[in-house]
Amino acid sequence: MKKEKTSLLRNGAVQTLLGSLLCILLGLLLGYVILMMINPAGANGAILAIVENFMTYSKPASQLRYFGSTLVKTAPLLMCSLSVLFAYKVGLFNIGAAGQYVVGTGAALYCALGLKLPWFLCLIAAVLAGAALGAVSGVLKSYCNVNEVISCIMLNWISLYSVNMLLTKVKEETSPYTYTLSSTNEGALLPSLGLGGLFNKNQYVGLAIPLAIVTAVLVWVLLEKTKLGYELKATGCNKYAAKYCGMRERKNLILTMAIAGGLAGMGAAMLFLSGFEQWQCTQSAVPAMGFNGIAAAFLGGLNPIGAIFSSYFIQHITNGGAYVDKTMYSSQISDVISALIIYLCAFVLFFKIALNRWLDRRDEKRQAAAGKGGDGK
Amino acid sequence: MILLLQYTLIFASVLLLVALGGCFSEHSGVINIGLEGIMVMGALGGALMMKFLPESTPAFGMILLVVLAAILLGMAYSLLLAVAAINFKADQTLVGTAMNLLGTAAATVFVKAMNTAESVDNVSSTIQYINAKKAFLVNIGSFEFNWFMLLAALALVGSYVSLYKTRFGLRLMACGEHPQAADSVGINVYRMRYAGVLISGLLGGLGGIVYITAGVSEWKFENGVAGFGFLALAVMIFGQWKPTRIALAALLFGFCRALGNVYSGFDFLKNLEIPAAMYNMLPYIISLVVLAFTSKKSRAPKAEGVPYDKGQR
Optimal mutation site among B94, B111, B114, B230, interface A, most CBs of chain A within 10 A = B94
Interval B53-73: pLDDT, tens? 877 778 788 888 989 999 999
Angle value at C-alpha A27, between A23 and A33, nearest 5 degrees: 150
Residue of A nearest to B105 (CA): A336
Residue B259 lies in a domain: no
How distant is the Cα of A6 from the closest Cα of chain B, in angstroms?
A: 25
- What length does chain B have? 313
- The structural domain count of chain B equals 1
A343 touches chain B (CB under 8 A): yes
| CA-wise closest residue to A264 among A119, A113, A79 | A79
Which domain does B75 fall in, by range? 16-224
Q: Give the range with max mean pLDDT: A373-377, B166-170, B301-305.
A: B166-170
Pseudo-torsion of CA A73, A76, A77, A78, nearest 10°? 120
* A204 touches A190 (CB < 8 A): no
* B109 touches A331 (CB < 8 A): no
pLDDT of residue A3: 47
pTM: 0.87
* A80 touches A63 (CB < 8 A): no
Interval B169-198: pLDDT, tens? 999 999 988 888 888 888 999 999 999 999
Residue of A nearest to B297 (CA): A145
pLDDT of residue A331: 79
Optimal mutation site among A85, A89, A150, interface B, most CBs of chain B within 10 A = A150
Of B294 and A98, the one with more pLDDT: A98
pLDDT of residue A110: 92
- What length does chain A have? 377
Across the strands, what pairs with B140? B143
Give the list of residues 6+ apart from residue B48 with CB closer than 8 angstroms, or none: B69, B127
**pLDDT tier at B313, thresholds 50, 70, 90:** low
Residue B78 lies in a domain: yes
**pLDDT tier at B122, thresholds 50, 70, 90:** confident
pLDDT of residue A256: 92
Walk along chain A (377 residues) and give the pLDDT tens digit of each residue: 444 455 677 777 888 888 888 888 998 899 888 888 887 777 787 888 888 777 777 777 778 878 888 888 899 999 999 999 999 988 888 989 999 999 999 999 999 888 888 888 999 999 999 999 999 999 998 888 888 888 998 899 999 999 998 988 888 877 788 888 777 777 778 877 777 667 767 778 878 888 999 999 999 999 989 999 888 888 888 878 888 888 888 888 899 999 999 999 999 999 998 888 888 888 878 888 888 898 889 888 888 999 999 999 989 888 888 788 777 788 788 888 888 988 988 888 788 888 888 888 888 888 888 876 555 44
Q: Which domains does chain A have, with CATH numbers?
A: 2-346 (1.10.3470)
